[in-house]
């Protein structure tokens, strides 16, 4: 579990600039060893990758998804499957 939390912390650090700007509201680890329900109602089955859920603010948060993915990749974070949800703000 500690390794999973470490991955979520690495993602949080990589997205710190966007978090400070109010674009990324929350970064959290999906429950390990269980199914995680996303806001859209889709069920995510966990496998070998760590699922990290990123809550994005704004009117068109999907426009930020590619930038968030790029920042995580540039930070060299591997074994993480990012899932996005809209904060509604």
Check residue 79 and give its pLDDT.
84
Check residue 8 and give its pLDDT.
83
Contact 7, 79 (CB under 8 A): yes
Contact 52, 24 (CB under 8 A): no
Question: What digits encode the pLDDT tens for the residues 24-74?
Answer: 999 998 865 555 555 555 655 545 568 899 999 988 889 999 999 999 999
Check residue 47 and give its pLDDT.
53
Residue range 2-86 forms a domain whose CATH class is alpha beta
Domain boundaries, the chain: 2-86
- Tokens of residue 82, six digits: 């990012």
């Amino acid at each position: 579990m500690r390794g999973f939390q470490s991955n979520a912390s690495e993602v949080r650090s990589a997205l710190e600039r966007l978090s400070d700007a109010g674009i990324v509201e929350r970064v959290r680890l999906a429950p390990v060893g269980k199914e995680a329900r996303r806001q859209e109602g889709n069920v995510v089955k966990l496998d070998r990758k760590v699922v990290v859920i990123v809550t994005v603010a704004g009117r068109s948060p999907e426009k930020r998804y590619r930038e968030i993915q790029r920042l995580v990749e540039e930070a060299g974070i591997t074994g993480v499957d990012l899932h996005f949800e809209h904060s509604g703000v």
